[in-house]
Chain A
Amino acid sequence: MDVDLRRSIGLGLPLVLLTCATLATSAGGDAVPPAVTTDTPEYCHKLMDRIGQALRAASTPPPLEVVSLSSEGEHMCDDGLTRGGILRLRRALLILEQMTPPP
């Protein structure tokens, strides 16, 4: 084998190995845990839409608790307290669905 070629291999091989190791490490280290989609402002709006649908479908006025929870949940979601807001919206939706008779 040509001396120059051998020299090149001797110098470049460690660099290649180091790069591969770095890539492998960064690939494993950059693995992002999956995000839960029911903790987002979008889900907040989705729940508020569902509550709106349930209120329109209800034959009786909603209880004060539902109104209160819905309002709190909306405000908390707008203020960035997404998980707390979602929790209240869920409770309001659950009460509404329990009030709605089954078809």
Chain B
Amino acid sequence: MNFFGRPANAGLAPFQQAPDGLAHADDPASPQSDVPNPNAGVPDTAFPDAAPSEDRRPDDRRLLGGRAPDLLHSAGFRFAMVYAVLLAISAAALALYLWWATAGLLDRQTEAAIRADVQGLSERWDEGGLPALVLTIRERLEQNVDDDAIYLLADQSMRPLAGNLRAWPEPVSRADVLYELAVTRAGQPALAQVQRYDLPGGFHLLIGRDVQARAKLRTLLTDALLWGLIVVAVMALGGAFVVRSLFRRTLASVSATAAAISTGDFSRRVRVSGRGDEFDQLAETINDMLDRIGRLMEGVREVSNAIAHDLRTPITRARARLEDAALHAETTVELHAAIERATGDLDGIVAVFQALLRISEIEAGSRRSAFTEFNLATILADVAELYEPLAESNGLRLLLDTPANVPVWGDPEMLRQAVGNLTDNAVKFSPPGGAVLLSARAAPAGVEVTVADQGPGIPAEDRSRAVERFFRGEAARSTPGSGLGLALVQAVAHLHGGTLHLEDAGPGLRATLSLPGQLVTELSS
């Protein structure tokens, strides 16, 4: 693995490191190619930074597979019915309360008036007996300016003695029960509420009130509330249709975008209204998902292009060697030698494929399930021990500077490979007599692993591209490698939510792998 790649116009879309650590396509233009583009089926404008999609309102039926769900299975209809039922229940509850507060109040007032009358007449009976009661009834009738009082005092035979009823009403047979009694007033039918009281000596007293006006008011109120409920029901149905149409319109936007994407138009996005409501949050989440899918598809396309362009050479070379051996090899030894060289070329190609697949796997995030808490210092020590012999054979000193315990949450194997790649590069490109430093330290946000060497370093203009797949700088052209080492390190860094930073070590290169997460509490010790 090395730092330096090929010239810029190698047919790859240029990459720039976004501030968030994610790679975004800078130029979605199709790559130059003299071989058939393996991504012929993928549009060149796949998932650019898409402008908001046009406000197209395709027919729901066409979008929803050609047939809208029937009414009973429609979610919009169910929402609408919930709204209508809630509105109707609320209106009915309000109407019931109003009825109770008005008509019920009238009834309670009548009962209170009758009870007050009973109280007063009872006192007069206690004071003066029958004559006092008769006189009181006459006086109350004469003073009844409300013209609603009804009294009847009867003897043991139910013959009237006082009051304003001609005869004892037959339906009124039980005491302490409030009756509604039909009466006639000036030849007109009316309604009264009366109550019977049985007095000592076998006398019977009937006290009541004319409630005809109140009955009319109650009827009027009841009719008004019923009509009001009908109006509310109609409004509820109308509102339900409005709710349903709003619901369907919002879903239609999402459905239209999904349908367009399924037919190949990857530039579409769900329209965001700007209200910041739940539908906007859904639209933004879907758009973020589509952006990520776009980036992944772009990555796949770039890998395909890279494979096509960068692996063609070794495959062609291997083929040429085998063909030359087949045509010109005169001895078995020459033939075997040619086969071994070709085998070596193919082994290198296999290794590149494996690295590509590993990077893709890492970028897809599927390795997060292997995350665990472990001591990074152990990993660094293992890497240092692994590369110590190589460093020594190259005349280098491999220095390790880490605390005893560096707790990290992540994939130990991935980090082992990432640190190994950085160390491999450092050992490979350092001149004899130099040193390679492998260290770890606490950082404000987590842990920093640094690999520094004293080699030629990477020019400033190439550092941003050094993490691209298959990128190889000028200084690395003479050394074996595929240009995937730093790409894999960056993928591992992103998998752990961290970053890879390359800087000049003056002389040499300092590669810093920053990992967020658990604070190192024992580093200082």
Residues of A within 8 A of B (CB): 31-40, 43, 47, 50, 82-83, 86-87, 90-91, 93-94, 97
Contact, CB under 8 Å: A50 / B167: no
- Which of B164, B189, B190 is in CB contact (< 8 Å) with A38? B164
A26→B253 CA distance, assembly (Å): 73
- A-B pairs, top 3 by smallest CB distance, nearest first, are A38-B164, A33-B182, A39-B186
With A33-B189, A86-B147 given, is the CB distance from A38 to B141 under 8 Å? Answer: yes
**Alpha-carbon gap, A28 to B141, bound state (A):** 31
B185 near A36: Cβ-Cβ < 8 Å: yes
Q: How far is the CA of A38 from the CA of B184 in the complex (A)?
A: 11
Known: A82-B186, A83-B186. A37 touches B164 (CB 8 A): yes
- Tell whether, in the assembled complex, residue A90 and residue B144 are in contact, meaning their CB atoms are under 8 Å apart: yes
CB under 8 Å from chain A, chain B span 126-165: 141-145, 147, 150, 163-165
User: What residues of chain B lie closer than 8 Å to A34, measured between beta carbons?
Assistant: 165-167, 169, 181, 183-184
Q: Chain A residues near B166: list those with CB within 8 A.
A: 34-35, 37
Give the distance in Å from the alpha carbon of A87 to the alpha carbon of B210 in the complex: 15
Give A33 to B172 CA distance when docked, in angstroms. Answer: 12
CA distance A40 to B163 in the complex (A): 14
Q: Give the Cβ gap from B314 to chain A, nearest Cβ, in Å.
A: 114
Do A47 and B142 touch across chains, with their CB atoms under 8 A apart? yes
B147 contacts A87, CB within 8 Å?
Answer: yes
Interfacial chain B residues near A50, Cβ < 8 Å: 142
Q: B167 — which chain A residues lie within 8 A by C-beta?
A: 34
Are A35 and B184 in touch, CB under 8 angstroms?
Answer: yes
One of B145, B165, B181 near A91 (C-beta < 8 A): B145
- Could you say which residues of chain A place their CB within 8 Å of the CB of B141? 38
Q: How far is the CA of A94 from the CA of B143 in the complex (A)?
A: 6
| Residues of chain B within 8 A of A40, CB atoms compared | 186
Determine the distance from Cα of A34 to Cα of B169 in the docked complex, in whole angstroms: 7
CA distance A26 to B382 in the complex (A): 115
Q: Which residues of B contact A37 (CB under 8 A)?
A: 163-166
Cα–Cα, bound, A36→B150 (Å): 8
Question: How many angstroms from the CA of A91 to the CA of B147 in the assembled complex?
Answer: 11
The answer to whether B145 touches A36, judged by C-beta atoms less than 8 angstroms apart, is no
A52 vs chain B, min Cβ distance (A): 13
Given the complex, which residues of A lie within 8 Å of B143, measured CB to CB?
90, 93-94, 97
Closest to A83 in B: B186
Q: In the complex the two chains form, what is the Cα distance from A38 to B186 in whole Å?
A: 9
B contact residues around A35 at 8 Å (CB): 165-166, 183-185
A58 CB → nearest B CB, Å: 16
A83 CB to closest chain B CB (Å) equals: 5
Q: Contacts of B184 on A, CB cut-off 8 Å?
A: 32-36
With A and B bound together, what is the CA distance between A97 and B181 in angstroms? 32
Cβ-closest chain B residue relative to A88: B145
Closest to B210 in A: A36
CB-based nearest B residue for A97 = B143
List the A residue with the shortest CB-CB distance to B139. Answer: A97
**Residues of A contacting B210 in the complex (Cβ-Cβ under 8 angstroms):** 36
* Distance in Å: Cβ of A102 to nearest Cβ of chain B: 13
Q: List 16 A-B contacts (CB under 8 A).
A: A33-B183, A33-B184, A33-B189, A34-B181, A34-B184, A35-B183, A36-B150, A36-B210, A39-B186, A47-B142, A50-B142, A83-B186, A87-B147, A90-B142, A90-B145, A90-B147
A49 to B182, CA, bound (A): 30
Residues 190-223 of B, flagged 1 when their CB comes within 8 A of A and 0 if not, give 1000000000000000000010000000000000
Quote the shortest CB–CB distance from B89 to chain A (angstroms). Answer: 41
Q: Report Cα–Cα, A36/B186, bound state, in Å.
A: 8
Return the chain A residue nearest B150 by Cβ.
Answer: A36
CB distance from A76 to the nearest CB of B (A): 12
Complex CA gap A79/B126 in Å reads: 42
How many Å lie between the Cα of A42 and that of B99 in the bound state?
A: 40
A34 to B183, CA, bound (A): 5
User: What residue of chain B has the Cβ atom nearest to residue A50's Cβ?
Assistant: B142
Q: Which of A35, A36, A82, A93 has the most CB of B within 10 A?
A: A36
Given A83-B147, A87-B147, decide whether A36 and B142 contact each other with a Cβ distance below 8 A. no
A20 and B210 CA atoms in complex are apart in Å by 36
